[in-house]
Structure 1
Amino acid sequence: MDLKLLSIFDEVYKTRSVSRAGENLGMPQSSISIALARLRRHFGDPLFVRTSDGMQPTPHTTSLVAPVRQALELLRAVTRQQAIFDPAKAQRSFRVCMTGITHLVLLPQLMNRLSEVAPSVRVEITHISSRTPKMLESGDADLAVGFMPELEAGFYQQKLFDQRFVCVVRKDHPRIHSRLTQGMFRREKHVVVSAAGAGNELVERELDRLGVQRNISLHLPDFLGIGALVAQTDLMITVPERVAETLLRIAEVKLFKPPFTLPGFAIKQHWHERYQQDPSNKWLRSVIADLFLER
C-alpha cells in the first residue's frame, strides 16, 4: 500500500469530488482516478460511487475512514517538526465556515490580503450550521469565524473583535432625523435577520426583559441586499456595528445608538484541537488575526 493513497482516499471522502481532491492535493484529476482504481482493487470494493450529489462513499468506505485517518495522523505526528507551509508557493484550498457578519466584514479584506501574500491559495466559504463542529473535527473545514457560543469542548478559539448593536435607517427617513428615541424605536417598522451568528437572539432576549416589543414587519434569512432594502424603505434594522459600517459605505443610510442598552458579543475564530499545530492552519489563523489587529 502506497501511503500516498491514504491521503487521496481521505481527500476524496472529505470533498466528495475527484477534481476537488486533485486541486487540494496539487495533483491532476487523472492521477486521482488512477489512485482510486488501485484502492478499489486493494479493498475489493467500489469505495466511492458517482451520484448527483458527488462521489458518495460505500458502507465499506465509511468503516475505513476512522482507521485511515488514525494512520494519517500518526504519520503527521512523526513529521510535524519538519512541516513547513510556504504561503507564497502554496497551492492548497482552505474551507472556512462564516456567519453573515464575517462574510460582509472579513471576506473582502481576507481576499485582498491573500492575493498579496498567497496568490495561489484558494478559499471556499460555507455557512455556519449545526454541522460546523463535525466539519472542524473531521478536517472538512479549516476554520469557523463568527459568533458561535455553541463551540466549546475540543475547540480552540481566539477573539478577533467585540461587537455592539446599532440601529440603521435610510438617510432621508421622514420621521427619524438627528436622534432616535425610545418612542420612535417602538413605533417604526423593523426588519430582522435571523441568520446564525447575527446576534438577533441577544437583542430579542434583552428587549423582552425590558418589556419592549418591536413592530417587526419583515424577517430575512441573511444580510443579502439589506443595504438597498433599508435605503429604499422606511424600515429600521438593528445590526452589529461592523455590519452597519459596511452598510454606511455602500448605501444611503445613517446609524444611531439604540435607545435601549443592548448586550454586546465577541466575534471569534474557532478551530479543532487536532489542527492546533498544523502549519497551514496556523498561518491562516494568523492572517485573519492580523487583519483585525491592524484596525
Structure 2
Amino acid sequence: MNTTGSLSRLDLNLLISLDALLTERSVSRAAHRLHLSQPSLSAALARLRTHFSDPLLVRRGNSHDLSPLALRLVDQVSATLEGARRIFEEQAEWDPATANREFSVYMSDYALCTIAPVVARIARSIAPSVRFRFLLHSPAIVDDASEQLRNVDGIVLPHGYLTDLPFLDLWQDDWMLIASADNPIVERGVELEDLGAAQWVYTFQTRTAFTSASRQLQYMGIEPHIAAVVESFHALPLFVKDTDRIGLVQRGLLSSLPAQDGIVALTPPFDVVPLANALWWHPVHRGDPAHRWLRDLFAQAAASLATDLARNRKHNQPTPD
C-alpha cells in the first residue's frame, strides 16, 4: 500500500497540536504549552475534528473529557512523536562530548537504585549534554517488550523474561532474605521449613511477573503464604518491619533500603540461583553509534557495580542490623 500520497497531504505539525490537546484536555492550556495563540489551537482542533470525524474533546461543564477515539489515540500519538524525535536525533557520527541527546531506559526500582546512578555519574564527565530518562517498567511493558522497546533505548531486566532480543550481560547479584529484627527466625537462624510456614511479602506474583528466587521456591515444592504483594523492591522492607513477615531482595539494594533500622538481612537456607541482569534493546538500534556508546556505558557501570558487590561479599556487607 502506497501511503506517500496520503501523508503528503497531511500537516504533520498537527501531531504536535494533537498531543498537547490530548494531554492538557484544554485548548487554552495546550496553546500555552506550545507557546501559540488560542485561536491557532482552536483552528488546529477544528482541522483534527474534520480529519477524524470525531469531537476528540467533549465539553463536560467547565472542563473537557476525551472522546473514546481520543482515549485510544493518546498512547499512539505520544509514541509516534517520540519515534519522530528519535529519528531527527540520529547523527552520521557520534561524539558524546558534544552530543545533545536523551536516552530512555526502562528498569525496576532495584536497577534505578543500583546501576542507574553509576551510568549517570560516568556519563556526566564524558557527555555533559546527554540526558537520561529512567522509566519504571511494569508487567505490561515486559510482556509487550518487543513492541515497547521500539521507542526507547532499552530495558534493564534479568534473564528469564525476554527472548529473541539482543542483549548485553551486565552484572550478577544475590538474593537475600529480610526480616524484622524481632522475628524469632533471626535469633535462632532461618531453616528451610520456615520458608513454607512464614508469611511473605512478594514484589511480583503473576504468571509472567515473578522473581527468579520465588520461582525457585516453587520448584522446590515450597508454596509460600503471601500476605502482601508490593511492586517495588525498595518499599518491601516497610511491609516487613515490626511484623513476622519475610521477603526477598537483592544484595545490591540492601544499603539503600528504607527503614534499615529494625531490618535484618539473612542468607537464604538454600542455594539461590544468582540474578543475571542484562540490558535488552530492539534490533532497530543495532547499528546506531549512539546506542553502541550507551551499551558501552552500561558495561562500564556494570563492571564498577560488580566490583563493589564483590567487595561487599568479601567483607560480608552491607547487612542492615
What is the SS of the residue equivalent to 1:105?
helix
How far did 1:119 drift? Answer: 4.9
Match of 1:283 among 293, 296, 299: 293
> CA 1:160–1:249 in 2, change beyond 3 Å: closer, same or farther?
farther
What residue is the counterpart of 1:230 in the other structure? 240
What is the SS of the residue equivalent to 1:211?
coil
Residue 106 (structure 2) pairs with residue 93 (structure 1): no
- The answer to whether the 8 Å contact 2:203/2:210 transfers is yes
- The answer to whether the 8 Å contact 2:109/2:136 transfers is no
How far did 1:9 drift? Answer: 5.8
CA distance in 1, matches of 2:246, 2:203: 12
Q: Which amino acid aligns with 1:220?
A: V
After superposition, the C-alpha distances for 1:27-79 in whole angstroms (9 at most, x for unaligned) are: x9459x99xx99x99xx9479x67867x95999xx8xx99x999x8xxx7xx9
The 5 A counterparts of 1:174-213 are 174-177=184-187, 179-194=189-204, 200-213=210-223
Identity of aligned residues (%): 16
Normalising by structure 2, we get a TM-score of 0.62
- The answer to whether the 8 Å contact 1:145/1:269 transfers is yes
- The answer to whether the 8 Å contact 1:148/1:197 transfers is no
> CA 1:129–1:222 in 2, change beyond 3 Å: closer, same or farther?
same
What residue is the counterpart of 2:162 in the other structure? 151
After superposition, the C-alpha distances for 1:175-227 in whole angstroms (9 at most, x for unaligned) are: 42263222333333221111789974533443233232323322223235223
> CA 1:108–1:82 in 2, change beyond 3 Å: closer, same or farther?
closer
The 5 A counterparts of 1:103-182 are 103-116=112-125, 117-119=127-129, 121-131=131-141, 132-133=144-145, 134-137=147-150, 139=151, 141-147=152-158, 149-153=160-164, 155-177=165-187, 179-182=189-192
Provide the alpha-carbon RMSD of the alignment.
5.0
- The answer to whether the 8 Å contact 1:109/1:291 transfers is yes
- The answer to whether the 8 Å contact 1:99/1:195 transfers is no
What residue is the counterpart of 2:111 in the other structure? 102
Residue 227 (structure 2) pairs with residue 214 (structure 1): no
The 5 A counterparts of 1:39-78 are 45=51
What is the SS of the residue equivalent to 1:130?
helix
- The answer to whether the 8 Å contact 1:96/1:125 transfers is yes
CA distance in 1, matches of 2:253, 2:291: 26
Between 270-279 and 222-231, the greater mean CA deviation after superposition: 222-231
> CA 1:124–1:275 in 2, change beyond 3 Å: closer, same or farther?
same
* Structure 2 unaligned spans of 5+: 1-6, 25-32, 58-63, 306-321
* Structure 1 unaligned spans of 5+: 19-27
- The answer to whether the 8 Å contact 1:168/1:244 transfers is no
What residue is the counterpart of 2:309 in the other structure? none
> CA 1:115–1:152 in 2, change beyond 3 Å: closer, same or farther?
same
Aligned length: 273
CA distance in 1, matches of 2:93, 2:23: 26
> CA 1:196–1:254 in 2, change beyond 3 Å: closer, same or farther?
same
What is the SS of the residue equivalent to 1:185?
helix
Between 218-227 and 270-279, the greater mean CA deviation after superposition: 218-227
> CA 1:188–1:279 in 2, change beyond 3 Å: closer, same or farther?
same
- The answer to whether the 8 Å contact 2:179/2:241 transfers is yes
What is the SS of the residue equivalent to 1:294?
helix
What is the SS of the residue equivalent to 2:105?
strand
CA distance in 2, matches of 1:83, 1:7: 28
Larger Rg: 2
Q: Which amino acid aligns with 2:113?
A: L
Normalising by structure 1, we get a TM-score of 0.66
Q: Which amino acid aligns with 1:93?
A: E
